[in-house]
Amino acid sequence: MTKTVGDFIVARLYEWGVRRMFGYPGDGINGVFGALQRASEKMQFIQTRHEEMAAFMASAYAKFSGELGVCIATSGPGATHLITGLYDARMDHQPVLAIVGQQARRALGGHYQQELDLAALFRDVASDFVQQASMAAQVRHLVDRAVRIAIARKTVTAIILPNDLQELPYEDPERKHGTVHSGPGYRPPRIVPHNDDLKDAADILNEGKKVAILVGAGALGATDEVIAVADRLQAGAAKALLGKAALPDDLPWVTGSIGLLGTEPSWNLMQDCDTLLMIGSGFPYSEFLPQEGQARGIQIDIKPDMLSLRYPMEINLTGDAAETLRALLPMLKEKREMSWRKEIQKSTEAWWKKLDDRAKVAANPVNPQLVIAELSTRIPDQAIVTSDSGSCANWYARDLKIRRGMMASLSGGLASMGAAVPYAIAAKFAHPDRPVIGLVGDGAMQMNNMAEMITVAKYRAEWSNPCFVICVFNNEDLNQVTWEQRVMEGDPKFDASQKIPDVPYHKFAEMIGLRGIYVAKPEQLGMAWDAAIHSDVPVILEVKTDPEVPPLPPHLTLEQMQHLTKALMTGDSHETSVITGTFRQLFSGLLSK
Ligand SMILES: Cc1ncc(C[n+]2csc(CCOP(=O)(O)OP(=O)(O)O)c2C)c(N)n1
Ligand SMILES: [Mg+2]
């Protein structure tokens, strides 16, 4: 059979190393799906329930595998559905290629059914490269450029394919004027700053008496190097949300997460340091970093546009985190003074103890922090953890103890709801032999994650390690925002927008052939986690959690406290229970600051 444009595209992606793509069909892209069927021994198509989920999976697949993530959808609504997941990849600097269908070339411009201006639609999210093909001889360089740009710049690219073009015979470009002759292949460069610049950075680090390190996603491949540098400088290290797995939490000088979802020792670390070394992080909230002028700053980032963005740095180094730190290490002097690190270790130890105590506070019915505390002691080696946006992201960031060898991620820059299950599915396709655990709020579960459990049921037999647990925090509330409204705006809980229906998530799991476990008593949690982690069928572990346990920043400002008091005094439906009970106990620590 003659090779079609669709066949060529699939074969060229294979040549680039692509082995699977996530998506959903439709007549705008049937020509490529025909090709996928013909190439099914080489290229796996993974069918999701919704195109947004396919794009989240492509983003997470890139995060967990380090390879290009590819998603595919039809014209019109298929293409528009992709957008949120693509922005997730873009905000978190992941290489993702979107392949989308379009109406036939002869119909374009005719207000035709499902005809949208897709190049305009993708112009922002795929601003590095978006092209609509119009000729068979053009698709070779479109694929080569879209893939090379996505992986080299760690960004999103898009190719738009009119449906009639996909079925035409493929032709290589002729050898004549006005043709493009591209080839596949890319070898990433070694990116290390100049020695003189490293030396300048080393001088500052050597002079510092209280060095604080902040790591982000860019440091995920540099664990050994960060540890070596931190030890030599007697530094403490905080972790931005996407850098959670960059350092294990059992190191006594690792202060945990930073920011609104952060910890007290991370706050103290930044407040008291005289030198800040920031590695591979775009952590957005400058108010959690040292005050301008307080600390001398050095930043390492592979993306120059991320430098000196959150704190005015004295030295801005463009480089790969591991390579740069390796080159820097021999220039650093062993610090003899231990008091700064001892201080950090003391406040970190006290903080873990405080978290332990908070998790044990009685709640109605289950304290959400206890869910994570019980997981932390049981989480299997090599596990991959994903979290949704919502209050569980606080517990994930703050309370979950990550060990060496684990991976963890979530929708960071975009902070979108509806990502934890597609992220977990992508983790399984990237590493079928590893246990995967997702943490999801009930609102996020209802949004899209629930439907994606059907995808789990469809593909679970392919995963060699059966451990796949989605833990749903059922608090019948959009809790993160309820607290934000109370604290940031001073508004009482707005039941119309915040309360959500109670749904038996565990029963849904059973209906679709998975296992459901329901916990409404704190003493059942440990056994429930054990059963879920060791189940040979994917599990929804539904826990009835208390919405009145506040997922609040480590240090409330006076203004925020005033807002909160106002909210509680002006008719919050949970006024009584909030002011008494768990709230008071959990707040006692914060209020006394
Ligand atoms: C797509 C999207 N819509 C809205 C938001 C704003 N938002 C952030 S967290 C949250 C509440 C999440 O509720 P739930 O999933 O039940 O988790 P909870 O906070 O109750 O634990 C909302 C509405 C968002 N981040 N993403
Ligand atoms: Mg909720």
CA of 480 to the centre of ligand 2 (A): 8
Q: Are 40 and 72 in contact (CB under 8 A)?
A: no
Out of 52, 88, 395, 481, mutate this one to test ligand 1's pocket (max ligand atoms within 8 Å of CB): namely 481
pLDDT at 558: 66
Dist CA 306 CA 423 (whole Å): 25
pLDDT tens by residue, the chain, 593 residues = 689 999 999 999 999 999 999 999 999 999 999 999 999 999 999 999 999 999 999 999 999 999 999 999 999 999 999 999 999 999 999 999 999 999 999 999 999 999 999 999 999 999 999 999 999 999 999 999 999 999 999 999 999 999 999 999 999 999 999 999 999 999 999 999 999 999 999 999 999 999 999 999 999 999 999 999 999 999 999 999 999 999 999 999 999 999 989 999 999 999 999 999 999 999 999 999 999 999 999 999 999 999 999 999 999 999 999 999 999 999 999 999 999 999 999 999 999 999 999 999 999 999 999 999 999 999 999 999 999 999 999 999 999 999 999 999 999 999 999 999 999 999 999 999 999 999 999 999 999 999 999 999 999 999 999 999 999 999 999 999 999 898 888 889 999 999 999 999 999 999 999 999 999 999 999 999 999 999 999 999 999 999 999 887 666 666 777 777 777 767 676 654 554 434 444 454 444 33
Residue 128 CA to ligand 1 centre (angstroms): 30
Atom nearest to 446 CA in ligand 1:
15
| Token pair listed for 346 | 């003391």
Tokens 């405080």 correspond to what residue? 354
Determine the distance separating the centroid of ligand 2 and the alpha carbon of 500, expressed in angstroms.
8
- Test site for ligand 1: of 260, 388, 389, 392, most ligand atoms within 8 A of the Cβ: 389
Q: Which residue, judged by its Cα, is nearest atom 10 of ligand 1?
A: 390
**Contact 481 CB / ligand 1 (< 6 Å):** yes
Tens of pLDDT, residue by residue over 192-244, are 999 999 999 999 999 999 999 999 999 999 999 999 999 999 999 999 999 99
DSSP H/E element including 162: strand 156-162
Q: At what angle do helices 51-65 and 420-430 cross, to 10 degrees?
A: 50
Closest ligand (CA of 369):
1
Identify whether the C-beta of residue 366 lies closer than 8 Å to the C-beta of residue 260. no
Nearest ligand 1 atom to alpha carbon 480 = 19
Output the pLDDT for position 593: 38
- What is the Cα–Cα distance from 140 to 399, expressed in whole angstroms? 49
C-alpha–C-alpha distance, residues 68 and 80, integer Å? 21
* Inter-residue contact 39 to 202 (CB < 8 Å): no
Ligand 2 centre to CA of 371 (Å) is 14
| Buried/exposed 100-127: b ≥16 CB within 10 Å, e otherwise | bbbbbeebeeeeeebbbebeebbeebbe
Tell me the best of 261, 421, 480 to mutate to test the pocket of ligand 1, counting ligand atoms within 8 Å of each CB and taking the most: 480
Residue 393 CB–ligand 1 contact under 6 Å: no
Residue 444 Cβ < 6 Å to ligand 1 = yes
Looking at ligand 1, which residue's alpha carbon is closest to its atom 13?
Answer: 478
* Segment (H or E) for 236: strand 236-239
Residue 396 Cα, ligand 1 centroid: separation in angstroms? 15
389 lines ligand 1 (CB under 6 A): yes
- Cα angle value 471/477/479 (rounded, 5°): 85
Ligand 2: centre distance to CA 49 (Å):
22
CA of 475 to the centre of ligand 2 (A): 5
Among 478, 479, 493, say which to mutate for ligand 1: greatest number of ligand atoms within 8 Å of CB.
Answer: 478
Q: Is the CB of 455 under 6 A from ligand 1?
A: no
Q: Using a 6 Å cutoff on CB, does residue 490 contact ligand 1?
A: no
546 CB near ligand 1 (under 6 Å): no
Atom of ligand 1 nearest to the CA of 415: 25
Atom of ligand 1 nearest to the CA of 500: 16
Determine the atom of ligand 1 nearest the C-alpha atom of 416. 26
Cβ–ligand 1 distance for 390 under 6 Å, the answer: yes
Is the CB of residue 540 less than 8 Å from the CB of residue 437? no
pLDDT at 401: 98
The contacts of residue 429 (CB under 8 Å, 6+ apart) are 20, 46, 57, 61, 459
Residue 385's DSSP bridge partners are 408, 437
Q: How far apart are CA 43 and CA 10, in angstroms?
A: 8
Alpha helices in 234-320 (DSSP H): 264-272
Counting ligands in written order, which one lies closest to the CA of residue 551?
1
State whether residue 176 is helix, strand or coil: coil
- Ligand 1 nearest-atom number relative to CA 84: 1
Task: Give the whole-angstrom CA distance, residue 371 versus residue 376.
Answer: 9
Ligand 1: does its nearest atom lie under 6 Å from the Cβ of 482? no
Establish whether residue 416 lines the binding site of ligand 1, counting it when its CB lies within 6 angstroms of any ligand atom.
yes
**415 CB under 6 A from ligand 1?**
yes
Q: Whose CA is nearest to atom 4 of ligand 1?
A: 417
